[in-house]
Amino acid sequence: MHRFTPHSSAQAASFVLATLLTVFVLSGLWELKLEGWTTALLGLSYESNFEAAERWRFILTSTGFSALALIVPGVRIARLLAIQRKAFAALRAEQSRSDSLARHDSLTGLYNRRVFIETLDQRLAVPHEKTAVLIIDLDRFKPINDTYGHATGDKVLCEIAVRLAEFGSNRSATVARLGGDEFAMFIPEGSRETLALISESLLQKIGAPLSGISGNVSISATIGIGMSPFDAATSEGLLKCADHAMYRAKKMGKDSYHFHEPHYDQEQKAAAQFEEELAYAVAKEEIEPYFQPVVSLPDQRLVGFEILARWRHHDRGLQMPDTFIPIVERLGLMPEMSFSLLKLAIAHALTWPGEMTLALNVTVGMLEDSTLPERLCSILEQANFPFSRLEVEVTEQALVGNLPAARRALHALRARGISVSLDDFGTGYSGIYHLTQLAIDKIKIDRSFMNDPVLGRDKVISAVLALSKGLKMLTTAEGVETDEVAKILSIGGCDFGQGYLFGKPMSGMEVDRVLARTPLNTLGFRAIALPSDNTLQSVT
């Protein structure tokens, strides 16, 4: 594009002068020399003594007329130049405004994301330089926007931007707004200690009361830090690291800072993979039922099994419920997993002699679903497994979590002949009132009572047994590990026992083998479950 510069008017003036000088010199040359030569050449008469004054008048007249002839175009040119100068100034202003818009965030005036990345790239291209990228995300900005309106929210962002810019300019940092309430800064700094101090004072500066809002309102921020070349060498990589660190800091409690930790990333990836595999395993019905024997007391005869979930992971080996049940729950797959466990367990149980019961653990979420009784019944019906052989175990917490739903579900189950046990009795909040109001058939005394170090085992067991007898409920004691405890339970009138003394949880095949080896009603189960080679002890 052609540019009109202020030099143009000087050029115009020198053009005028040069024209006049040329006319002056040429007319002089003509009058003093060329005229004589030309007339001589043409053979015309020439008066060389013509008055000198006359010649000079001619020269000046020519020059004068030329000057007059230049006045109109000169004025026009001057006007044109003035117009062009004005247009040029306006164009320059517009250009710099659009340059600035393309480079800066329109609200706060800080650099935008693109320019931040460009500048960071330039910095990272310098070898051996250490750089830290900080992502600064405001905490609870949305409530400020919602409470005070967007105009105030904008003011807050601008005020924070000014604070960050001030803070950055003292530390040769480049500051930008990445979008929303997210800011970024890169600093020529490679020491974690210094960066920790910087982050602390940055948080302090951000946390000072805001002047844009009446009252003593303040806001906090969470900072994630990525360091080059330690964490990543590219702007994209560094921003990602800082971002991950920021999210981690948010999770651990806001108003704080966090450095990127490579291990954390790996753990996150592994956890995500574990979750994916788990969902797949649930869908493929690969979660396996293990069976822990329940015996009657005092004769220790096998009466049934509790179904306990296990997952055979191809790399990690046999997974216990505490490693995957909470994830299944979070993924909302608990019903799917439990129904499939029940189906698989029934398939085994149908091949066993006698009328042994199966106990299935059920969560609060499942209890809240009013279709639970029907779904359980349809599984039992399809397998031709008597309803009376199924027990459902619910924890106190599940019951108290949603009492009306629990009440409905328990009644519906009982109406169909499925019995209900209260699991982990004594560990949660259970008003005895609830127990009497709900359709509960049996309580399972938590294993923690079997060895109470404070009050003494015997007294606690007797007290809990007296309570359950008073409520006229059947009782199972969990976690029975010694003969001594089995004896105390038997004397106290406990109906059933479950624990390593009688058998650890075992696979269906293991139960098949044990039962095939020994006729069920001729011996107490303990004799069955603990064969001479004691293989069952190592099942889990």
Strand partners, 289: 309
80 CB neighbour count, 10 Å cutoff: 14
512 binds ligand C2E (CB under 6 A): no
> Closer to ligand C2E at the Cβ: 155 or 444?
444
**71 vs 516: CA distance, rounded Å:** 126
> Residue 497 CB, nearest distance to ligand C2E (Å)?
10
Three-class SS of residue 513? helix
Task: Identify what 292 binds: ligand C2E, Ca ion, none; CB under 5 to 8 Å per kind.
Answer: ligand C2E
338 binds ligand C2E (CB under 6 A): yes
Sequence-distant (6+) residues with CB within 8 A of 373 are 409, 412, 413, 415, 416, 418
426 binds ligand C2E (CB under 6 A): no
* CB-based contact 174:119 (threshold 8 Å): yes
Put residue 214 in one of left, alpha, beta given phi > 0 → left and psi -120 to 50 → alpha: beta
Task: Identify what 285 binds: ligand C2E, Ca ion, none; CB under 5 to 8 Å per kind.
Answer: none
> Closer to Ca ion at the Cβ: 423 or 510?
423
> Residue 400 CB, nearest distance to ligand C2E (Å)?
16
**526 vs 500: CA distance, rounded Å:** 10
325 binds ligand C2E (CB under 6 A): yes
End-to-end distance of the chain based on CA atoms, in angstroms?
82
- Would you tell me which residues interact with Ca ion (CB under 5 A)? 361, 393, 423-424, 478
> Residue 243 CB, nearest distance to Ca ion (Å)?
42
Task: Identify what 28 binds: Ca ion, ligand C2E, none; CB under 5 to 8 Å per kind.
Answer: none
421 binds ligand C2E (CB under 6 A): no
* CB-based contact 114:178 (threshold 8 Å): no
507 binds ligand C2E (CB under 6 A): no
Pairing of strands 506-507, 287-296: antiparallel
> Closer to Ca ion at the Cβ: 156 or 422?
422
**184 vs 170: CA distance, rounded Å:** 16
> Whose structure tokens read 């917490």?
397
Helix axes 321-330, 262-283, angle to 10 degrees: 80
Residue 215 dihedral angles phi and psi, to the nearest 5°: 90, 175
* CB-based contact 360:391 (threshold 8 Å): yes
> Closer to ligand C2E at the Cβ: 473 or 480?
480
321 binds ligand C2E (CB under 6 A): yes
Binding mask 235-274 for ligand C2E (x = CB under 6 A): ----------------------------------------
Binding mask 279-318 for ligand C2E (x = CB under 6 A): -------------x--------------xxx---------
Task: Say if residue 332 is exposed, middle or buried (CB neighbours under 10 Å; 0-12, 13-18, 19+).
Answer: exposed
> Closer to ligand C2E at the Cβ: 63 or 395?
395
Task: Identify what 430 binds: ligand C2E, Ca ion, none; CB under 5 to 8 Å per kind.
Answer: none
* CB-based contact 292:504 (threshold 8 Å): yes
508 binds ligand C2E (CB under 6 A): no
Three-class SS of residue 510? helix
> Residue 325 CB, nearest distance to Ca ion (Å)?
11
> Closer to ligand C2E at the Cβ: 246 or 337?
337
Q: What is the binding site for ligand C2E (CB under 6 A)?
A: 292, 307-309, 320-321, 325, 338, 341, 361, 363, 423-424, 447, 479-481, 498-500, 505
